[in-house]
Structure 1
């Protein structure tokens, strides 16, 4: 398992790419797109099939990124639950 900092380093910002929206490892895959898919009950396996350049750690990084960015307690609990589900796979 990677460290928190190592995971968060997978999330990149580039004002010239996707309007500066957080992406994964410099690719044009937005963190928000992965989070939306997870919210729609798309499994991490399906996401990895749909995006062959992604790694499981990228999905974990998206969840950690969202967890760190929210101050809404109910949303924090939901994201934490998704993280626990992901780690059991």
Structure 2
């Protein structure tokens, strides 16, 4: 499994959980909440301290998930 696929496997969506919004590893920690914390200046260490069930790869997975949702053409090198 590639790194992207491994990271993306950490993001789950279940209709009955958090209104079907993407969450981290089936927990009630939404991808949007992690992204919002990062956007507001929290660093990974602070987030991990506040949410001890999260792992650094979960935060990377949230970023990878967000990036995958953007419709930005990529040029092949």
TM-score (norm 1): 0.77
Equivalent residue number for residue 69 of structure 1: 69
Give the number of aligned pairs.
72
Structure holding more helix per residue: 1
Q: Which runs of 5 or more structure 2 residues have no equivalent in the other structure?
A: none
Question: Runs of 5+ in structure 1 lacking a partner?
Answer: 74-89
- Matching residue of 1:22: 22
Partner of 1:43: 43
RCO (CA 8 Å, sep 6+): is it higher in 1 or 2?
2
Q: Larger C-alpha radius of gyration, 1 or 2?
A: 2
Q: CA deviation at 1:71?
A: 2.0
Q: What is the rounded CA distance, in whole Å, between the counterparts of 1:19 and 1:44 in structure 2?
A: 26
1:12 maps to 12
RMSD of aligned Cα (Å) = 1.4
For 1:3-33, what per-residue CA distance to the aligned partner results, in whole angstroms no more than 9, with x for missing partners?
Answer: 1101000000000000000000000000000
